[in-house]
Amino acid sequence: MIPLELAVTDHRKHMTSSTTTGKISAGDQRTATLLNWAPWLSVALLALAPTLFFLFFYFTSAEEAAVYLLLAMTSLVLGSASGLIVAIALLFYRRHWAGRLRERLAADGITGSEVPWFSTELTPVERRALKQMQAHSPALADAYCETLAIRLNASRVIAGARRDLLQVQQRINRATNIQGADTAALLKDLQVDRDRLEDLKREGQRSLSEAEARLQTIEATASRGSDWAKTNYMLQRLNEGKTNVPMALESARLEQQIREDTERELREQRPSG
């Protein structure tokens, strides 16, 4: 069987060069931050900056105030439309840039620290579980991230193997239909490629199943820890209640006994008529 780590690199060779590091750089961090803010800043600058400029002259100029007000309203409408167009363009560019970054990171295998960059490829359950673990159990969150990295790598290996298998099968079909030429050697090579890809796909599927099982184990452990804390608190309150019940009954019994003794003494002291 082909090791998963080698498989990840093998099926992504055509997508990376020898100079690609596959790691997050400081420039990537700055670019990501800039692209997160740029769409909204573009709307604010293009819509508000010209409007505020003309409003300044509207309030400070005694003459032609109506002209400046008209220019301010016009610039607000046109600036808002322009800002919205620029923001949409930046959002599309950010999506494209993030996709290229994820492919570069995945070229040499996704690591646990790189999982946040692949949040769009996580399921809603995985995102919610990871967020809860990061808030309540950082150690489990680290283990969860490492397992998510394995799951992401395995998913990409399987997808790549399926795509390459389809291409190999198409080549086999074309080679089979060739007439008047000896294609035995070609078909043999293609069969070797198909067998290799089948092994790669099975290895990826095995790793994916193991990763999914481990993810559920970590999720259950995290949930159990949280639920046990609540359960233990409820049991403690219940035990306190059980302890207090006999005391309350004893107190009520003593009060009743005192009341009965008092009434009996009063009857004895009352003169008979």
Residues 79 and 55 sit within 8 Å (Cβ to Cβ): no
76 belongs to a structural domain: yes
Domain count for the chain, please give it: 2
**Full domain range(s) for residue 50:** 22-109
Question: Are 78 and 121 in a shared domain?
Answer: no
Question: Are 115 and 222 in a shared domain?
Answer: yes
Instruction: Label residue 196 exposed, middle or buried (CB < 10 Å: 0-12, 13-18, 19+).
Output: middle
pTM: 0.63
Distance CA 273, CA 270 (A): 9
Phi, then psi, of 18 in degrees rounded to 5: -70, -20
88 belongs to a structural domain: yes
Question: Are 196 and 125 in a shared domain?
Answer: yes
pLDDT category at 16 given cuts 50, 70, 90 is very low
82 belongs to a structural domain: yes
Amino acid letter, 170: Q
Question: Are 59 and 89 in a shared domain?
Answer: yes
241 belongs to a structural domain: no
Decide which of 75, 109, 143 is a domain's last residue.
109
Poorest-confidence range of 2-6, 48-52, 70-74, 245-249? 2-6
Question: Are 211 and 170 in a shared domain?
Answer: yes
Residues 161 and 200 sit within 8 Å (Cβ to Cβ): yes
Q: How far is CA 270 from each of CA 55, 239, 261, 273, rounded to the nearest angstrom?
A: 99, 48, 14, 9
Question: Are 46 and 125 in a shared domain?
Answer: no
pLDDT tens across 153-182, in order? 999 999 999 999 999 999 999 888 888 788
Share of the chain above pLDDT 70, in %: 77
Across residues 1-6, what is the average pLDDT?
Answer: 40
Helix locations, 107-183, DSSP H: 124-136, 138-176
